[in-house]
Amino acid sequence: MGSAAGRLRFQVAPHALVRAVGHPRLAVPPWPDLADTTPAGVRAWLEWMRAAWRDPVLADAVRHASPALARELDALSDGHAPPRGRARKTLFALAGYCLRAQRRQMPFGLFAGVSEACFGHRTEAVWGEGHRATARAGGEWMAGFIEQ
C-alpha cells in the first residue's frame, strides 16, 4: 500500500446541501402548564391543542406524520374531550411535533427539508415561502417492489 500523504482525501466543492427546519416561525399559542392536572389545567391543555390545531401548516404536517394523532385532534376540534390521561398523551405528542417543526432539522415528513447552499465570503440566509414537498421511495419499499 502506498503512502496516504500524497493522495487527496477531500476536495472543496462550490455547493453543499443544508438540512433546515421546515417552519421556524410556526406560531403556536403560549404553552399551557403541563404539570397542572386539575380540571382547569386539563381544559387549558384542550384549548391549547384546539388553537394549535387551527394552523393549517401544522395540521398538514401532523396529518402526514401521524394520521392517528390527526384523528384525535380532529375529534377534539369537534368538541370531544378525552379523559385526562389521553389528553395528556395527545398534548405531549402535538407539542413534540410543534418543537420538531420549529427546531429540529432532521428531514422527516413535512417538518424539515434540504436546500442548496453555496460557499462564499459572507453569510446570507434567505428563508422563502415557495417550499415544495417531494417524496422518495424508502429502501424497504424499493426492495419489495424489486422482488415483485
User: pLDDT digits over 51-98, tens only?
Assistant: 999 999 889 889 988 999 999 999 999 999 999 999 999 999 999 988
133 touches 38 (CB < 8 A): no
**Which residues are within 8 A (CB) of 103 and not within 5 positions of it... i.e. 6 or more apart?**
21, 24
Report helix, strand and coil shares of the chain as percent, to nearest 5.
45, 10, 45
Give the model's pLDDT for residue 87: 95
**Which residues are within 8 A (CB) of 31 and not within 5 positions of it... i.e. 6 or more apart?**
48, 95
84 touches 41 (CB < 8 A): no
Q: What is the DSSP pairing of strand 112-118 with strand 15-21?
A: antiparallel
Burial class (CB in 10 A: 0-12, 13-18, 19+), 50: middle
**This model's pTM is above 0.75:** no
How many other C-beta atoms lie within 10 A of the C-beta of residue 79? 8
User: pLDDT digits over 130-141, tens only?
Assistant: 767 666 677 888
Give the model's pLDDT for residue 135: 66
d(CA 58, CA 64): 10
Burial class (CB in 10 A: 0-12, 13-18, 19+), 45: buried
What 3-state DSSP class applies to 141? Answer: helix
**Which residues are within 8 A (CB) of 133 and not within 5 positions of it... i.e. 6 or more apart?**
110
